[in-house]
Amino acid sequence: MAEPATARLSVDLDALAHNYAVLGREAQGAEVAPMLKSDGYGLGAAPVGKRLWAEGARTFFVARLAEGEALRAALGPTRPCQINVLDGMTPGSAPRLAAAGLTPVLTSLAQIAEASAFATQAGRPLEAILHVDTGMNRQGLTLEEARAVAQSTDRLRGLEIGLVMSHMGSASEPQNPRNAKQLEGFLEVHALFPRARASLSASAGVFLGPDYRFDLVRPGVSLYGGGPEGTPDPRLKAVATLTAPILDLRHLKPGDVVGYGESVRIDHATRAAVAGVGYSDGVIRAARSGGYVWLAGARRPLLAINMDILILDLGDADAQIDEMVEIIGPNALVDDLATAGGTVAYEVLVRLSRRAERVYVGEVQ
């Protein structure tokens, strides 16, 4: 007998490889260093990292020390690569960073001091990255601090700064003048550390043109199928596909109220389908109004998202119990669900939970 149908998250590694190639073409010679923070945007840093290594990636970024350790262990000694940790050298983390061969992205004068002390004590140079803030006001040295570091002869003692980087706050809006301002700031940063490689752009910046690419780009969301401008981009393929079986079908008539509360009142005769997936599987509940799923060859409006089930308006289309509904995927686009839910594709992806059965499509390698 066949297995009972259930909610399933399928991660398409061939689509990931496609998106990596699209970004590589767009980056035109800049190294593409995939962002694997938050378990590879919720899709599994280990299989995603292995496949991207097979596609040629040799530099990866994560946010946390533990993410770096897990990725190093997963990639193992047969896949040499640089793993950069965005949190940097947080107090006391130096021995573990060193043990796992992780490169800290230094974000403050205190971190620089800690890294320099560690390197001096160890008696060997320590490779590190400098993160400079160019107007996002989030992480990194201020420009003044970067100038002071560049001029000082001893602050960087023991450190080899292989890369200077900054992060953009409005790159998903190509016309926003903040982009050019951040670029201007970053050009100054790069001039302060002329021997280091430079990196300014994440996914959106890759598409802003050659001025923004520098030596290395750090895309995350677009590798996983999210458009660089927060809207669907036909150049990219969906990597995550969430499907769930129809559990029940019912007729609705004008005046019927659907689900909890009375906010969903039906004004037309239609059929509703109940699918076995809900916010506990990671479907953003706020998307219940304005969101859609894909069933029987068309977009179907969502009516309700509960913990374990969602309800959709099937109209007069034909569908059967056990037929699979696509909640996120090549037809139900992650950026659309995010927009309906008042959030971003990043959050939709990282919230996909472990309850939905996971399968990987394509070679991990």
Ligand X SMILES: *Cc1c(COP(=O)(O)O)cnc(C)c1O
The edge-to-edge listing of strands for the beta sheet with 102-106 is: 59-62, 82-85, 102-106, 126-131, 159-165, 197-199
Tell me, yes or no, if 212 is annotated catalytic: no
Contact flag: residue 202 with ligand X (CB under 6 A): yes
Residue 203: CB minimum distance to ligand X, A:
3
**What type of residue sits at position 337?**
L
Cβ of residue 138: shortest distance to ligand X, in angstroms? 8
Determine if 236 is a binding residue for ligand X (CB under 6 A). no
Geometric angle at alpha carbon 5, from 4 and 11, rounded to 5°: 130
Contact region with ligand X (CB under 6 A), list: 190-198, 220-228, 231-239, 356-364: 220-228
Binding to ligand X in span 153-182, by CB under 6 A? 167
By CB under 6 A, residue 197 contacts ligand X: no
> Do residues 45 and 284 make contact, with C-beta atoms less than 8 angstroms apart?
no
CA distance 332 to 296: 12
C-beta closer to ligand X: residue 9 or 216: 216
Q: By CB under 6 A, is residue 140 in contact with ligand X?
A: no
* Residue count of the chain: 365
- Give 227 or 291: the residue with its C-beta nearer to ligand X: 227
The two three-digit tokens of residue 310, written as one number: 């969602």
| Contact status, residue 84 vs residue 220, Cβ threshold 8 Å | no
Among 20, 37, 279, 346, the active-site one is: 37
Instruction: Confirm if 7 and 309 have CB atoms less than 8 A apart.
Output: no
Residue type, 50: K
Site map (CB under 6 A) of ligand X, residues 18-57, x = contact: -----------------x-x--------------------
Q: Which of 17, 30, 86, 332 binds ligand X (CB under 6 A)?
A: 86
Stretch in the footprint of ligand X (CB under 6 A) among 142-150, 196-204, 263-271, 319-327: 196-204
Give residues 259-278 in contact with ligand X (rule: CB under 6 A).
Answer: none
According to the binding rule CB under 6 A, does residue 221 interact with ligand X? yes
Under the binding rule (CB under 6 A), the answer on residue 327 touching ligand X is no
Instruction: Respond yes or no: is residue 181 known to be catalytic.
Output: no
Based on CB atoms, which residue is closest to ligand X, 116 or 201? 201
CB 62 within 8 A of CB 86: yes
Q: CA nearest 344: which of 202, 216, 245? A: 202
Q: How many residues bind ligand X (CB under 6 A)?
A: 12
Q: Write down the least CB distance from residue 222 to ligand X, Å.
A: 6
How far is the C-alpha of 259 from the C-alpha of 248, rounded, in Å? 14
- Using CB under 6 A as the binding rule, whether residue 190 contacts ligand X is answered as no
Nearer to ligand X, 212 or 292 (CB): 212
* Dihedral sign from CA coordinates of 211, 214, 220, 223: positive
Pairs from 201-207 (Cβ < 8 Å, separation ≥ 24): 201/168, 201/171, 202/35, 202/167, 202/168, 202/171, 203/23, 203/228, 204/168, 204/171, 204/172, 204/228, 204/229, 205/168, 205/171, 206/23, 206/26, 206/27, 207/26, 207/174
Q: Which residues contact 184 (CB under 8 A, 6 or more apart)?
A: none
**Contact status: 218 vs ligand X (CB under 6 A):** yes
Please tell me which residue in 50, 181, 212, 260 is annotated as part of the active site.
Answer: 260
Distance from the Cα of residue 56 to its chain's centroid:
19
- With contacts defined by CB under 6 A, name the span among 17-25, 109-117, 177-185, 215-223 that binds ligand X: 215-223
The alpha carbon of 96 is separated from its chain's Cα centroid by a whole number of angstroms, namely: 25
219 binds ligand X (CB under 6 A): yes
Nearer to ligand X, 209 or 254 (CB): 209
Taking the complex as a whole, the smallest distance from the CB of residue 86 to ligand X amounts, in Å, to 6
- Closest distance between ligand X and the C-beta of residue 220, in Å? 3
**Catalytic site residues?**
37, 260
Where do contacts with ligand X occur on this chain (CB under 6 A)?
A: 35, 37, 86, 167, 202-204, 218-222
